[in-house]
Amino acid sequence: MSLKAFHLIFVTFLTTLSLGFAVWAFLSHKILFGLLGIVAVVLVIIYGVYFLKKLKKMSYL
């Protein structure tokens, strides 16, 4: 598995963490952290798409 593939896994986990963090923060009435989590989810997804496009030609192995 190349760094590209591992980075994709990392981005996936980071998205999940950000989403979970946002939900946890809203349930704990920490609105600021919740908003931060939502912003993080959006940014990480945008970055993920950009990263996949940019490294299209690189191998996953």
Site of interaction with another protein (CB under 8 A): 1-4, 6-7, 9-10, 13-14, 17, 20-21, 24, 28, 30, 33, 36, 40, 44, 47, 51, 54-55, 58, 61
Q: How far is the CB of 38 from another protein (least distance, A)?
A: 14
Give the CA distances from residue 43 to residues 28, 59, 61, in Å, rounded to whole numbers and listed in that order.
23, 25, 26
Q: How far is the CB of 19 from another protein (least distance, A)?
A: 11
Q: Please give the structure tokens belonging to residue 45.
A: 């997804």
User: Can you state the percent helix, strand and coil of the chain, rounding each to 5?
Assistant: 80, 0, 20
Q: How far is the CB of 2 from another protein (least distance, A)?
A: 7
